[in-house]
C-alpha cells in the first residue's frame, strides 16, 4: 500500500506542474481582483498525515477553507486556505461582506475559479479529462479543515503528497494558500502522464 | 500543566496526575477518550478513519476498529479493566456544509460507538456531529474532559471524578 516514496526528479516535475498551475490560477485571481498577484515557488512534499496538518500552520487558527473535489482522470482535492483577515480584505475588494452568505458565495466562487484555472492548466498539459465538483466552504480551525480533507483523501495511506503555492495579492497584504492534494492513485496517474511513472 | 498533544492517528495513555492529553482541531476525526472512573488513568486516540479493512496501520490510533482494542490493551497494562472505564467522544463533524463525498465524520462516530457498545463501555458524554471543528482536553488525575469549538468557550464534557474523602462517614 503506502508506496508513497518519490524521487527528487519526480518531486521536481510535480513542483513544475504546480508552478504552471499556480501561475494560471494567479492570473485568474489577478483579473478577478484587478490587482497584481505574486506567486511563490511552489512546494512539493510527501508528508506523513499528521505532519502535513502541522505544516499548514497553527491548528487552532480560524481560517476559511474552500475545497473542490477533482475527478475523472485525476483524483484529487484542491484546498484554498485564507486567514480570516485576508478573507475580509478579499471580500471587501469584491464589495461583499465575509460575514454573510454573500461573502461565503464569493469565496466559494474564487475557489472555483482558481481551481478550474490551476487544474485546467494541468489538464491541457497532461491530456487529462477533468471534472470539478461544486466548491464547499468551512470557516473553522485550520487543523480541523486540513485534517478532514486529508483523512477523506488518504484512502487509508499514511503519507500524502502536497503541492502547495502561495498567491499574494500585491498592495493589499493578503494572500491565499493553494493546496492540491492528489490521492495516491492520482499522483501515480499524474506521473504516468508526464512520463515519470514508476 | 504539561500538555501532551495526540496528533492525527496517534494514541496516548497516562497515569500521571496533571498530564493533559489534547486532540487539537478535530474535524471529521474522533477524539476517543477512555477515562478510569477514578480519573487516575486516561487514554486518548485521535481516530481518523472508521475501518482498517484488514490493513496494518503504522499508527494504532488511526482506524476506529484498531484504535479501541489498542487503547483497551494500554489501559489494561496500567491496571484498568474495561468495566471501570467511561468513554467520552468529541469530533466527527461534517466540516464542509453541502458536501457529500468528502465526509467521513458520521461514519467515524458510528464505528467508534459500535466498538464501544461491543466492548460494553458506556459513553458518558459526547460532543459530536454538527459542522464545527473541536479541540478536546483530558486531564489525568481529575479525569475531566473539556471540549472547545473555534471562537467559543471551553465546555465540560465530563466533570472531575469525585474522590471519596477518607474518614468521612457516608451518611454525614
Residue A24 has pLDDT above 70, yes or no: yes
- Residue whose grid cell is 511552489: A42
pLDDT of B171: 47
Query: Which one has a higher pLDDT value, B126 or B99?
Result: B126
The number of angstroms, rounded, from the C-alpha of A66 to the middle of its chain's C-alpha atoms is 9
Q: At what angle do helices B105-119 and B64-77 cross, to 10 degrees?
A: 40
At A83-103, the pLDDT tens digits run 999 999 999 999 999 888 899
- Global ipTM: 0.89
Please tell me the pTM assigned to this model: 0.91
Closest residue of chain A to B131, computed from CA coordinates? A138
pLDDT of B1: 65
pLDDT of B127: 97
Using a CB-CB distance cutoff of 8 angstroms, which residues of chain A are in contact with residue B132?
140, 144
Contact between A16 and A110 under an 8 Å Cβ cutoff? The reply is: no
CA distance B61 to chain A (A): 12
- Rounded to the nearest 10°, the torsion over CA B83, B84, B90, B92 is -10
The predicted model gives A111-115 an average pLDDT of 94
Residue B166 has pLDDT above 70, yes or no: no
Q: Quick one: CA dihedral B101, A139, A26, A177, positive or negative? A: negative
Amino acid at each position: 500500500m503506502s508506496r508513497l516514496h518519490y524521487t527528487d526528479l519526480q518531486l521536481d516535475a510535480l513542483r513544475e506542474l504546480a508552478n504552471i498551475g499556480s501561475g494560471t490560477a494567479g492570473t485568474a485571481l489577478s483579473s478577478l481582483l484587478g490587482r497584481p498577484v505574486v506567486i511563490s515557488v511552489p512546494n512539493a512534499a510527501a508528508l506523513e498525515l499528521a505532519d502535513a496538518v502541522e505544516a499548514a500552520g497553527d491548528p487552532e487558527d480560524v481560517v476559511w477553507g474552500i475545497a473542490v473535489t477533482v475527478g475523472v482522470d485525476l483524483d484529487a482535492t484542491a484546498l484554498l486556505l485564507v486567514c480570516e483577515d485576508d478573507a475580509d480584505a478579499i471580500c471587501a475588494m469584491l464589495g461583499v461582506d465575509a460575514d454573510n452568505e454573500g461573502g461565503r458565495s464569493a469565496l466559494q466562487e474564487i475557489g472555483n475559479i482558481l481551481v478550474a484555472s490551476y487544474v485546467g492548466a494541468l489538464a491541457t498539459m497532461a491530456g487529462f479529462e477533468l471534472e470539478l465538483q461544486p466548491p464547499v466552504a468551512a470557516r473553522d480551525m485550520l487543523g480541523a479543515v486540513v485534517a478532514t480533507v486529508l483523512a477523506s483523501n488518504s484512502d487509508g495511506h499514511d503519507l500524502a503528497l502536497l503541492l502547495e503555492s502561495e498567491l499574494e495579492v500585491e498592495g493589499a497584504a493578503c494572500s491565499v494558500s493553494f493546496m492540491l492534494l492528489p490521492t495516491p492513485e492520482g499522483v501515480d496517474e499524474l506521473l504516468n502522464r508526464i512520463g515519470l511513472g514508476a | 500543566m504539561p500538555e501532551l498533544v495526540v496528533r492525527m492517528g496517534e494514541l496516548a495513555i497516562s497515569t500521571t496526575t496533571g498530564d493533559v492529553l489534547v486532540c487539537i482541531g478535530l474535524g471529521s476525526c474522533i477524539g476517543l477518550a477512555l477515562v478510569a472512573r477514578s480519573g487516575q488513568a486516561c487514554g486518548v486516540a485521535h481516530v481518523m478513519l472508521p475501518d482498517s479493512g484488514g490493513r496494518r496501520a503504522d499508527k494504532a490510533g488511526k482506524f476506529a476498529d484498531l484504535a479501541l482494542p489498542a487503547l483497551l490493551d494500554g489501559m489494561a497494562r496500567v491496571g484498568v479493566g474495561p468495566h471501570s472505564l467511561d468513554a467520552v467522544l468529541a469530533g466527527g463533524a461534517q466540516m464542509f456544509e453541502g458536501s457529500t463525498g468528502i465526509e467521513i465524520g458520521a461514519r467515524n462516530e458510528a464505528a467508534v460507538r459500535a466498538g464501544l457498545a461491543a466492548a460494553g463501555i458506556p459513553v458518558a458524554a459526547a460532543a459530536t456531529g454538527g459542522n464545527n471543528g473541536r479541540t478536546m482536553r483530558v486531564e489525568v488525575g481529575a479525569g475531566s474532559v473539556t471540549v472547545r469549538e473555534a471562537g467559543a468557550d471551553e465546555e465540560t464534557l465530563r466533570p472531575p471524578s469525585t474522590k471519596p474523602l477518607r474518614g468521612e462517614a457516608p451518611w454525614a
